Amino acid sequence: MGCLDGKHALVTGGTSGIGCATARVLAGEGCRVTVCGRDPVRLEGAVTDLRASGAVEGSVADVCDEASMVRTVAAASGPDGLDIVVANAGIDPMVAFGAADVSAWRSLLETNVLGAAVTIRAALRQMEPEGRGQVVAISSLVTREGDGSNPVYAGTKHALEAIVDGLRRTSRGNGVRFTTIRPGVVATDMARSHPQERLDALARDLGLDPSAIGVLHGERLPPEMHAAIRALHGRILLPEDVANAVLYAVTQPPGVQIDDLSIRAVADL
């Protein structure tokens, strides 16, 4: 028996990293989980892997497309509606402010802010009539500590938190809970957005030869880099650490709400 038996959850950005780890943890506790992503091939691979942990389904969807998210929320809901939504989908181009293209900023804002708002609104339309449910938004510690390397990314996370804070205030008494989770540095494939020279430097810092292991901008990090990064646990968070924070938030007694939860590695990089 799991602590989430009979519950239904939707996790956006669920094909890798924090989203995939969260889906695995929730499914392992008996929750029926739907993960969504834009790439059908990656989604199918993730769902196949995740089903070893429990009941997991996939839905091809773009969080910025309201119609597709309404369909996805409906598919994720059980007979009594949707219990949990984890608004995790996000991007970080990791390009210096002065060098960034405006189109990259637009995509950043659309995914991290508009996409989260579309997801949460679609979920609330299922949750509010039932008088229960939980919204979990994955933010970042950059909202508390700043990020001089990418202030626009930090701005999108501030905006996400403002949306959740506002909804928490206006939804008091309707039974829906709202939680913001702020992780520090996490070992995920988001690093693939780094410019090639930074990826090469990261590989060398890990004691690896970038040309030998095939580090390429825009591609998933090679297994050798993942293994080396995971060996830094204690200096950097793993996706499972964030997933366990989500589990902690959604398994509180019905009358308890975790508003905000900040987590970091003990010896944060």
Chain segment 108-134, per-residue pLDDT in tens: 999 999 999 999 999 999 999 999 999
Residue 231 has pLDDT above 80, yes or no: no
Chain segment 170-204, per-residue pLDDT in tens: 998 899 999 999 998 887 665 555 556 766 776 78
Average pLDDT on 65-86 reads 95
At 205, the pLDDT band (50, 70, 90 cuts) reads: confident
Kindly list the structural domains of the chain, giving each domain's residue range(s) and its CATH number in brackets, ordered by start: 8-186+237-263 (3.40.50.720), 188-231 (no CATH)
pTM: 0.88
End-to-end CA distance of the chain: 38
Q: Which of 12, 90, 153, 179 is catalytic?
A: 153
SS3 for the chain is: CCCCCCCEEEEECCCCHHHHHHHHHHHHCCCEEEEEECCHHHHHHHHHHHCCCCCEEEEECCCCCHHHHHHHHHHHCECCECCEEEECCCCCCCCCCCCCCHHHHHHHHHHHHHHHHHHHHHHHHHHHHHCCEEEEEECCCHHHHCCCCCHHHHHHHHHHHHHHHHHHHHCCCCCEEEEEEEECCECCHHHHHCCHHHHHHHHHHCCCCHHHHCCCCCCCCCHHHHHHHHCCECCEECHHHHHHHHHHHHCCCCCCCCCEEEECCCCCC
At 233, the pLDDT band (50, 70, 90 cuts) reads: low
Cβ atoms within 10 Å, residue 53: 15
Active site residue 248: no
